[in-house]
Amino acid sequence: MHRTFETTTERHQRTLDGQWEFLTDPGDEGYDGDYHESFPAEEADRLSVPSSWNAHREYADYVGPAWYRRTFETRTEDSLLFTFHGVARDATVYLDGEEVASHEGAYTPFDALARDLDAGEHELVVRADNTRREATLPHDDVDWFPHGGIHREVVVETVPDVYVRDLAVDYDIYGDEATVEAAVTLHNLDPRPAEPDLTVSVGEASVTEPVEVDGMDAATATLALDIEDVERWTPDDPTLYDVEARLDGERADDREGGAFTDDLRDRIGFRTVSTSGRDILVNGEPVAIAGVNRHEDHPEWGSAQPLRVQERDLELIRRAGCNAVRCSHYPNHPRFLDLCDERGVLVIEEIPMWGVDESTMVSTQERAQRTLMEMVERDRHHPSVFAWSLSNECANDESTVVDGTRKLKWAADGVDGSRLITVASNTDFEGGTDGTFEFCDFLSVNAYWGWYREGDWSEFLDGIEADYGEKPLVVTEFGAGAVPGDRTHEGRKWSESYQADLLADCVDLFRERESVAGFTVWQFCDTLTNPDSAMTRPRTRNNKGVLDEYRRPKEAYRVLRERLADD
Ligand code: ADA
């Protein structure tokens, strides 16, 4: 499943995992509502969902539109809610020949509701397109591979006529007491009004109130409850609470078939995040961030990693002595964040605004805003996520970019005021002044002294402190490329030895400096890069992993472990 726990007990929930018909469409022939006419079945291949088509040898290099098709059966007439947890990258969905959803962006979910779908066989067709352009998010020149396809789960749920559309939980915590506010949105698919009882529970505590929702309408009710003896979520003791919104009701006119029940579940952890001077605080205590950057990439699985790969990655991150992950450079699979919640790993989550300049800022602003909202709404309950990162290495010395990023900050604050905001910047490294720092809660700085540039890290940090010293600073990227197995006595570039020495020096320096609240090494493991960069990236990979692409350790992993792990 797409989470590590059940998100409903009332709904019949199934995934449409498995083999779908698959056909690439390099000429973008289109679809006229009859799949077999448009794409003769005998030409179709069979491809597993979820997966990246680029993780299949035949389609390893395919970039462009492609079609997926499958059928499924329903036994009774029901309303079905289809949730696509990630289609890379732009998607259009057709149910029985009719377009029911379209979505831009590979890393956030979208859904489609089919009201009163007849019993019988149905056809689902999905067009996915991973072509990157100047105005897509990410754009065409980013440093990671353009995995394509239905790379996250497709979940189908049977929902009653009145169902819980959304559950948004917010809380304030004082000592060991918390006041919780749960905003629950109900959707009534029936013309008759409904007055169900809504119960919100958080752990053992619960509150029930009658709520009203008009026919064919939606309504949001906010229920409050107090929790005593709260056990906080901390990185060392990551206590989680189940939260649930449950509906029980009868139709007001009491016609036959009027009873309904529904529930939607999630988890929260009670904790605060804040800053004080140059420190990042969790529950009021300073934490030293020691983490890695992680792409969702694997030679066998591409961007669609099974649970065990996600678990193992976190085990290896923990084993290195790290307590944090930067999800570079996009919202990660929701189950990965569940695992971070369970293991007390702190997360910086980012949207794929990577290396955007003035003109791409204008063309991507709307997409960025939508993706940000989708990320915050999806992940607002994860206690592990302590910061939203609005962008990575954009032209933050240009006013258009700064103004656009400020708008993103306002949008994030509007939905979730409980996390820190940051922007990963290389502006100073490039010799400019960063206009976004002013509205960030902490500074995220990417710099590659000792790799791309010769220069002195201490001097660079002195400069940053002088210019922006009143806020916490996290060095979110630093590192060196190392081709696995290349070890040299001379410590030449591209060798494991060079990378290990550089990381050792950096980690020692960052841990000594009071101004540095933490760091995230670039990067966890070697990852496939943009095929256009093949001539500057040996093995067409970004080789700055402390592990290779199969997660085998390089010298640098040992160096990290020696410095950060207790055992
Ligand atoms: C940048 C960028 C990363 C990666 C890195 C590198 O800092 O944010 O995605 O491309 O450089 O390896 O050069």
For residues 403 and 462, membership in a common domain is answered with: yes
pLDDT value of position 471: 95
Closest ligand 1 atom, CA of 424? 8
Instruction: Specify the number of domains making up the chain.
Output: 3
Taking the centre of ligand 1 as the mean of its atom positions, its distance from the CA of residue 249, in whole angstroms, is: 53
Residue 229 lies in a domain: yes
Is 477 touching ligand 1 by the criterion CB < 6 Å? yes
Nearest C-alpha neighbor of 331 from the set 346, 351, 347, 317: 351
Say if residue 108 is in the same domain as residue 223.
Answer: no
Q: What is the pLDDT of residues 469-513, one digit of tens each?
A: 789 999 999 999 999 999 989 989 999 999 999 999 999 999 999
3-class secondary structure, 291: strand
140 and 40 in a common domain: yes
Amino acid at 519: F
Residues 318 and 246 in one domain: no
Cα 480 from Cα 429, distance rounded (Å): 16
Answer whether 393 contacts ligand 1 (Cβ < 6 A). yes
Question: 143: CA distance to ligand 1 center in Å?
Answer: 7
Question: Does ipTM surpass 0.85 in this model?
Answer: yes
Q: Is 297 in the pocket of ligand 1 (CB under 6 A)?
A: no
Bridge partner list, 206 = 201
Residues 386, 402 within the same domain = yes
**Residue 8 is assigned to a structural domain of this protein:** no
Phi, psi at 285, each rounded to 5°: -105, 135
pLDDT confidence of residue 143: 96
Q: What is the CATH number for 260?
A: 2.60.40.10
Instruction: Give every CB contact of residue 79 below 8 A, 6+ residues apart in sequence.
Output: 113, 114, 115, 116, 117, 158, 159, 160, 161, 163, 189
pLDDT of residue 32: 85
237 CA distance to ligand 1 middle (Å):
33
Side-chain-side CA neighbours of residue 405 (13 Å): 36
Residues 51 and 193 grouped into a single domain? no
Are residues 250 and 298 located together in one domain of the fold? no
Query: What amino acid occupies position 475?
Result: V
Residue 287 lies in a domain: yes
pLDDT for residue 255 is more than 60: no
Structural domain boundaries enclosing 378: 283-564
User: Which residue type occupies 230?
Assistant: V
Where among 126, 158, 190 does a domain terminate?
158
Provide the pLDDT for residue 36.
83
**Does position 12 have pLDDT exceeding 60, yes or no?**
yes
Strands of the sheet with 65-74, listed across from one edge: 45-49, 18-24, 65-74, 120-129, 90-95, 98-104
Query: Is 553 contained in some domain?
Result: yes
Query: Does a structural domain hold residue 228?
Result: yes
Is residue 114 a part of any domain in this protein? yes
* Of the candidates 156, 128, 155, 101, the residue with the CA atom closest to the CA atom of residue 47: 128
Residue where a domain stops, chosen among 103, 136, 158: 158
Query: Quick one: pLDDT at residue 257?
Result: 62
Q: How do beta strands 324-327 and 289-293 pair?
A: parallel
CATH code for the domain in which residue 472 is found:
3.20.20.80
Tell me what the mean pLDDT of segment 275-286 comes to.
97
Mean per-residue pLDDT, 60-84: 96
Asked if residue 147 has a cis previous peptide bond (ω within 30° of 0), the answer is no
Q: Are residues 152 and 172 in the same domain?
A: no
